Amino acid sequence: MYNEIKMEELPNDTFLADWLAGKINDDQLKQLVSDTDFEAFQTLRNSLKKMQVSEPDMDKNYAAVKAKRIAANDKKPSGFLPFYGYAAAAILVLFIGLYQTFVFSNSIKTGYGNLESIALPDDSRVTLNAKSSVDFPNFFQCNRTVRLNGEAYFEVEKGSTFTVETPQGNVKVLGTKFNVISRPGFFEVACYEGKVKVMANDQSVILTVGNSIRFYDSQSEKWDNSADRKPLWLDGESAFRNVPLQFVIAQFETQYDREVVFPSAYGQIKFSGSFTNKDENIALQSICIPMKLKYRKTSTGKIVISE
C-alpha cells in the first residue's frame, strides 16, 4: 500500500536568475521548466517590472565623476562607474525578486480555541486548528512551500510540488487534500484525497486516500481512515485513534487555554475517542470517563486529573 515514487522537483533556481538577467530567452526557458512554472516565472517578472526601483541619473553622475577625474588627472575610462551603476540597479531588482520568492514573509496564526481558513496565492486553501501557525513567501507560485507549526487541513490545487515543512517532518504533494499535525514530539499525516509523500524520522512513506501515519517516541504507526471524509475538528470535534493520553490532553489545552496536570504514568495510556471543542466540562468527561479517571478544577483554574 505504501510504495515509494519519485516526486516532481522544483525548477533549478539558476533558470530564473539567468532568464531575468537576459542570459536565456523565453523559448529556452520553456525547454527547461514546466508550463506551470513558466507562467509563474512570467508573473514574477511582471511583478518586478512594477517595483519602484529608481534608476540613477546617469548624465548627472557622469558629469560629476568626469569633473573629479579631470581635477585629479585621472586617465581611467569615463564609462567605468556608470556601467557599475546600471549593474548595481539590476542586481538590486533581482535580489528583491528572489528575496520575496524564497523568504517566508507572510504569517497567519490562531489563538486558543480558534480556527482560521485562508486562501494561498495559488488558490490552495489552508484551515488552521487552534494554536497553530503557517508561513509562506510572497511569490508563492514560484515556491509552493509553507511552514507549519500546529495542525492544519490542506486543500492543494494541482501544479508544481507543494511542500509542507514542520519541525517534526515534511510532506510533499502535487494536488490533494490532507491533514497535518505537528506538535512537540508528535507528527501525524492523514490523506483524504490524492497522494502525499511523508518524510520523518529518516523514513519516506507514500500515503494514498484513506491512509494515515503518525510518529512519536521514535516509532511510527499506520492505520486506515477511509471511513472519514475530512478531519472532525473542522466541525468542532477533536478525534483520536489509539493516541497516547499526553497528546490528547495537549490538544485539550490548545482548545480551552487550560493547564492540565496528571501523573506522568498516565501519559502513555492509549486513548480512542473524541471530545467537543465547544464545551469544556463535556470535553473533560469525554476524556476521563472512558479512562476511569476523574478531574477537579483548582481555585487558580488549573485542571487536575487523577484516579
Domains of the chain (ranges; CATH) run: 13-102 (no CATH), 107-232 (2.60.120.1440), 236-306 (3.55.50.30)
Q: Are 302 and 259 in contact (CB under 8 A)?
A: yes
SS (H, E, C) 149-218: EEEEEEECCCCCCEEEECCCCEEEECCCEEEEEEECCEEEEEEEECEEEEEECCEEEEEECCEEEEEECC
- Average pLDDT value for residue range 37-62: 56
> pLDDT category, 31, cuts 50, 70, 90?
confident
Q: Is the pLDDT of residue 30 over 80?
A: no
Which of 43 and 76 is assigned the larger pLDDT? Answer: 43
Q: What is the pTM of this model?
A: 0.67
Q: Are 201 and 220 in contact (CB under 8 A)?
A: yes
- Average pLDDT value for residue range 164-185: 94
Which residues touch 98 (CB under 8 Å, ≥6 apart)? Answer: 13, 16, 17
> pLDDT category, 28, cuts 50, 70, 90?
confident
pLDDT of residue 12: 47
DSSP class of 116: E
pLDDT of residue 62: 52
3-state secondary structure of 251: helix
pLDDT of residue 145: 93
Among 34-48, 80-94, 187-201, 215-229, whose mean pLDDT is lowest?
A: 80-94
Among residues 126, 141, 188, 137, the alpha carbon closest in space to that of 41 is found at: 141
CA 109 – CA 53 distance, rounded (Å): 32
pLDDT digits (tens, 9 = 90+) for 185-207: 999 999 999 999 999 988 999 99
Among 8-17, 169-178, 207-216, whose mean pLDDT is lowest?
A: 8-17
Instruction: Decide: residue 87, CB within 10 A, 0-12 exposed, 13-18 middle, 19+ buried.
Output: exposed
pLDDT digits (tens, 9 = 90+) for 69-88: 555 555 544 454 455 555 55
